[in-house]
């Protein structure tokens, strides 16, 4: 306790130490002009520097800019403590427990500002497998660089001087397309097993080769991922799936033997032969959307990833003579409930998922008023995109989405002429409820919204 207190006082002094000896890489070599950094990140750095602290853009943004990839966001590392940062920016707040950081809001942007952290020592609290539990001891910039995961992630860019501080040859590694762990890879993976996933994900995104020393321990240590809290794994998986490089990342995870037991979801994706084609297609689509700068919906993505589980559950229920619609709803509930234990699927996302699934049987009805009501549904587009994926993967006949495509793009008269008697319903050769005189009424439309 006393040692910790002493160190806090001590590290406060070291935190304002002048710049360390890391190599100073000039603009000509790294190519990052200050205009390539977001205005908010530049502002945060300059305010901190004017107040007498050191401050740099760090991590993924520097790496991505050198690799000519658009950074997702900008993080800043500084010698100022969270409280000191908080005092300098009116629109800011301290967040986090495992890592205390400050969110500084500037215009529409939020910049994550973290204080340089010390290296771990014997006092560092870990779980019984060596996983580090807390990480809030402030240190100097060299320490902060060394505790980062990969050399390409340990780069510090100063927008004022347009130089990069590089303590671990990250710029050279990036140029040589190599992903190297800082320190001993096995030790670093033990401290935080998620680093194995990050290694694979980032190497896939940046098209880097994992250095053999970084690669070798992964297969033996993959089991350690079981001790990582589910919410953290879920965040990491969401990052992976929405990175624009989901297909290549997942293939590399499989190559490295990292896909087992990670998430129930991932086992489903990579091991269910029936669903495999569907899921890869969905992920290819997602990647294409992300890379084109279009938004993606986690609801749609998870609806895709879990569809074949729902489908087999639904089919089993129908085989026990349960009616199609209630069987589907029960299948959906069961699949979502089983995932909810492991995955932090929010209520809102779960709502989106069920909407998309619930629309599927409604696409089979191409008679009467039903198709007219369906295209008025706010979620028609998402449901239709999902239907098309099902056809592209061979689950259903392409004729059905083609029909809907035409139906949606033509006028009312032509639509009337297109109606198909129910018994011809695609893929729905099952005998279902007898035609009713009175349609179930407007209330039937609300089923998908529940």
Specify whether the CB–CB gap between 84 and 50 falls below 8 A: no
CB of 74 to Mg ion, least distance (A): 8
Our finding on whether 194 is near ligand ATP (CB under 6 A) is yes
- CB closer to ligand ATP out of 205 and 365: 205
6-14, 87-95, 190-198, 216-224 -> range binding ligand ATP (CB under 6 A): 190-198
d(CA 443, CA 436): 15
59-67, 89-97, 213-221, 342-350 -> range binding Mg ion (CB under 5 A): 59-67
Our finding on whether 236 is near ligand ATP (CB under 6 A) is no
In DSSP terms, 178 is beta-bridged to 209
244 binds, among ligand ATP, Mg ion, none (CB under 5 to 8 A by kind): none
Our finding on whether 309 is near ligand ATP (CB under 6 A) is no
Q: Residue 353, Cβ neighbours under 10 Å: how many?
A: 27
CB of 73 to ligand ATP, least distance (A): 7
Three-point CA angle 336, 195, 258, nearest 5°: 55
430 binds, among ligand ATP, Mg ion, none (CB under 5 to 8 A by kind): none
- CB closer to ligand ATP out of 149 and 352: 149
Nearest to 7 by CA among 130, 98, 95, 120: 120
DSSP codes of every residue in 70-118: --S--EEEESS-HHHHHHH-SSEEEE-SSS-EEEEEETTEEEEEEE-BP
d(CA 394, CA 396): 6
Asked about 207 being catalytic, the answer comes back as no
- CB closer to ligand ATP out of 40 and 400: 40
d(CA 200, CA 209): 9
- CB closer to ligand ATP out of 60 and 361: 60
195 binds, among ligand ATP, Mg ion, none (CB under 5 to 8 A by kind): ligand ATP
d(CA 362, CA 244): 31
What are residue 75's phi and psi, to 5 degrees? -110, 150
287 binds, among Mg ion, ligand ATP, none (CB under 5 to 8 A by kind): none
Binder of Mg ion out of 22, 60, 170, 425 (CB under 5 A): 60
CB of 361 to ligand ATP, least distance (A): 38
Q: Which one of 64, 149, 211, 287 is the catalytic residue?
A: 149
Nearest to 323 by CA among 333, 310, 314: 314
How many residues in the chain?
A: 450
Size of the site for ligand ATP (CB under 6 A): 11
Residue 327's Cα: distance from chain center in Å? 31
Quick one: CA torsion of 399, 402, 403, 408, rounded to 10 degrees? 160
In Å, what is the CA distance from 405 to each residue of 360, 382, 395, 401?
15, 13, 18, 6
CB of 142 to ligand ATP, least distance (A): 14
- CB closer to Mg ion out of 74 and 363: 74
CB of 329 to ligand ATP, least distance (A): 37
Binder of ligand ATP out of 148, 180, 365, 390 (CB under 6 A): 148
CB of 149 to Mg ion, least distance (A): 12
Binder of ligand ATP out of 30, 117, 195, 215 (CB under 6 A): 195
Where in 374-433 is the site for Mg ion (CB under 5 A)?
none
Asked about 143 being catalytic, the answer comes back as no
Where in 6-65 is the site for ligand ATP (CB under 6 A)?
59-60
- CB closer to ligand ATP out of 51 and 238: 238
Nearest to 305 by CA among 206, 234, 377, 396: 234
Q: Report CA torsion sign: 260, 263, 265, 269.
A: negative
Asked about 75 being catalytic, the answer comes back as yes
d(CA 378, CA 401): 18
Query: Which parts of this chain interact with ligand ATP (CB under 6 A)?
Result: 59-60, 72, 75, 148-149, 153, 192, 194-195, 239
Q: What amino acid positions are annotated as catalytic residues?
A: 73, 75, 149
């Amino acid at each position: 306790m006393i040692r910790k207190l002493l160190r806090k006082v001590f590290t406060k002094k070291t935190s304002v130490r002048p710049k360390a000896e890391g190599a100073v890489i000039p603009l000509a070599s790294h190519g990052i002009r200050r205009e390539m950094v977001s205005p908010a990140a530049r502002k945060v750095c300059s305010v901190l520097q004017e107040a007498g602290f050191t401050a740099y853009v760090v991590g993924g943004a520097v790496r991505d800019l050198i690799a000519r990839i658009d950074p997702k966001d900008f993080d800043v590392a500084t010698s100022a403590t969270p409280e000191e940062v908080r005092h300098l920016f009116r629109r800011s707040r301290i967040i986090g427990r495992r890592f205390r950081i400050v969110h500084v809001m500037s215009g529409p942007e939020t910049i994550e500002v973290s204080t340089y952290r010390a290296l771990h020592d014997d006092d560092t609290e870990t779980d019984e497998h060596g996983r580090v539990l807390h990480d809030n001891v402030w240190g100097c910039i060299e320490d902060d660089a060394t505790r980062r995961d990969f050399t390409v992630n340990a780069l510090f860019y100063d927008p004022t001087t347009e130089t990069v501080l590089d303590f671990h040859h990250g710029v050279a590694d990036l140029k040589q397309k190599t992903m190297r762990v800082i320190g001993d890879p096995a030790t670093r993976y033990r401290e935080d097993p998620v680093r194995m996933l990050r290694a694979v994900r980032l190497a896939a995104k940046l098209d880097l080769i994992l250095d053999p020393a970084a690669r070798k321990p992964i297969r033996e240590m993959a089991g350690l991922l079981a001790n990582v809290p589910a919410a953290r794994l879920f965040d990491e998986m969401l990052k992976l799936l929405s990175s624009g490089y989901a297909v290549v990342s997942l293939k590399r995870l499989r190559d490295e033997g990292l896909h087992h037991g990670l998430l129930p979801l991932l086992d489903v994706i990579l091991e269910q032969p029936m669903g495999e084609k569907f899921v890869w297609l969905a992920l290819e689509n997602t990647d294409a959307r992300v890379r084109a700068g279009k938004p993606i919906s986690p609801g749609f993505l998870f609806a895709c990833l879990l569809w074949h589980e729902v489908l087999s559950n639904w089919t089993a229920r129908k085989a026990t003579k349960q009616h199609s619609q209630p069987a589907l709803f029960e299948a959906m509930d069961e699949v979502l409930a089983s995932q909810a234990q492991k995955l932090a699927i929010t209520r809102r996302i779960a709502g989106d998922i069920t909407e998309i699934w619930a629309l599927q049987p409604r696409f089979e009805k191409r008679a009467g008023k039903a198709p007219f009501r369906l295209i008025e549904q706010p979620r028609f587009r998402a449901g239709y995109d999902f239907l098309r994926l099902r056809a592209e993967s061979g689950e259903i006949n392409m004729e059905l989405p083609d029909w809907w495509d035409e139906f949606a793009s033509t006028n009312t008269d032509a639509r009337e002429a297109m109606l198909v008697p129910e018994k011809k319903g695609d893929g729905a050769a099952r005998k279902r409820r007898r035609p009713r005189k009175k349609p179930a009424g407007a209330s039937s439309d609300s089923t998908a919204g529940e």
